[in-house]
Structure 1
């Protein structure tokens, strides 16, 4: 029990702290059922002054003979006022909760996450037929009906996280979306799975770029993706200041979102050193300008700006069915590679080839900017085929 009090003169009303709250202690000379009057106030200097005023009022009533033995006139009335104020507040809509949640999360997430993922959820919420939390089932059904299962699941996951935060923040009493997202089954899109190119397919793709009249400009960029396994944003944002003068070491410390035109740190928020083998070193030296500006992009677009990954895929890599086939799509049609895979599989190809060559998972993780656990989780099928060496 945590009780603090100051010794009062006989016949006076004392003010004391009990379990962090202030209460009034009545003198023994008074005949009353209760010796204590709870104020419900936190023990603070300001509240102590208010409690002392009530104590003086009681002492004055005792001296005048007008003491209220029921104690009703001495009890603070703030409890009723607070309850009425809470009841009077209108319920927050899902839109209002999402805006408050976004403001709370803003310092904790990357700018790209805020402007892409959170903005997408905000747009989905704006289109809902109802934004009342009690209509959670109707909201779920609307999202499932309008979006793909994957998008509906991701949106409901974010909305549920928002409501969990709102519960913790005492804005709502419970999360009506709890568990909804997990019940939506998502069929994995094969184009998004880890599906590396073989070494032969890699070489065929590079050769096709070299021989293409329009897209040969991208040959160094494509080779670099295959030879480093870096993320696309890291490659398009790479500047000469990130590469040592002799081109033997690359420091991956920044990435560019071409969609938002934002330069940021790497996905893991940690820079990493990448050692160049002789082939990669020769590639970088071959494209390095004589008067090299450290701030210049290593792989600029044809117009000198940042390569827009979406444009590169829609033109050179995959193409668009309403315009023309990209190089990889054409190679699939010609039977030169087995199936179409996204440009991001250049990263998976590098990691897979390293593992198949017997490079340790820890080392591959350092080069790729991942944790060993992530490499083991996503490339377990590859590591399972690595042979135990003879000792």
Structure 2
């Protein structure tokens, strides 16, 4: 399996995004490397090992990709049969794992408490403007950290690129997840955030949000150190901002930064903003907004057409 996956990954590399190759394909490679047996004759044992050691969603994804690898190997005449055919379809996932969107927004009070905690933090106040922009635009984190000053006009923020992970580290990618670009109308709230950090003589190509060392913000580091927390060199756990607020019972439960996006969308709907407008602001279709956020607003219903 290890050799087959290596050849399959090289075949797929020119056809997939650098981040998919660097993150997802490496993850499947690591799962395969840990298998107690790697021969195709032991496909059932491989499935059972994965089920015993991974969540159902991870097992389904891994088996789906192993099956694709073996399909390719079969067509390439490297193997005579594919024992993983349709195996992933038999994996039943819990409802929480199968949900395409795990929407668990912060309340408005929790949002404001998180922002205040960042602003008052001696270590992490540097990141407060980034956190505020995530909460008040609903943009994806990869879009926020890719913003440059040239993307800001008097009336709009133009999202047209994202920071992704490649084999060479962080990389700038043209286009967004679901579209080439979108414009977000700036109100006084967002304008105040941006004006508070804009240098007097800024270069239009400079990134708006930078790491403390001046480079591109590594959002993985932000999540695992600033937002959540980490273990120091002595093995002591250092709580991040949101983890602290959960322990203080200011925030009801821990949630990842992506919930800033879900919070923005949910609060917009609660303010009776039309789903078509919200979808246009955040880069989702109205159907997605209705389907995945209706549960957070009791009177939001898909109209009869």
Q: TM-score, normalised by structure 2?
A: 0.85
Question: How is 1:341-360 mapped onto 2 (pairs within 5 angstroms)?
Answer: 341-360=255-274
Indicate which of 181, 184, 187 corresponds to 1:271. Answer: 181
- SS of the equivalent of 2:196 reads helix
Whichever of the two has the greater Rg, that structure is 1
Cα root mean square deviation, aligned? 2.5
Q: Does 1:239 align with 2:153?
A: no
- Rounded to whole Å, the distance in 2 between the matches of 1:276 and 1:108 is 37
| 1:195 to partner: Cα distance | 0.5
Highest relative contact order (Cα 8 Å, sep 6+), 1 or 2? 2
Q: Does 1:183 align with 2:90?
A: yes
- SS of the equivalent of 2:51 reads helix
Indicate which of 295, 304, 307 corresponds to 2:214. Answer: 304
Question: Which residues of structure 2 form unaligned runs of 5+?
Answer: none
- Rounded to whole Å, the distance in 1 between the matches of 2:11 and 2:165 is 26
Q: TM-score, normalised by structure 1?
A: 0.68
Question: How is 1:1-391 mapped onto 2 (pairs within 5 angstroms)?
Answer: 94-167=1-74, 172=79, 174-187=81-94, 188=96, 193-244=102-153, 246=154, 248-257=155-164, 260-265=169-174, 266-320=176-230, 322-386=236-300
In structure 2, do the counterparts of structure 1 residues 174 and 359 end up closer, same or farther at CA, with 3 Å as the change threshold? farther
- Rounded to whole Å, the distance in 1 between the matches of 2:88 and 2:116 is 45
In structure 2, do the counterparts of structure 1 residues 170 and 387 end up closer, same or farther at CA, with 3 Å as the change threshold? closer
- Rounded to whole Å, the distance in 2 between the matches of 1:132 and 1:122 is 15
| 1:356 to partner: Cα distance | 1.7
| Number of positions where the alignment pairs a residue of Structure 1 with one of Structure 2 | 292
| 1:289 to partner: Cα distance | 1.2
Question: Which residues of structure 1 form unaligned runs of 5+?
Answer: 1-93
- Contact 2:113-2:250 at 8 Å conserved across structures: yes
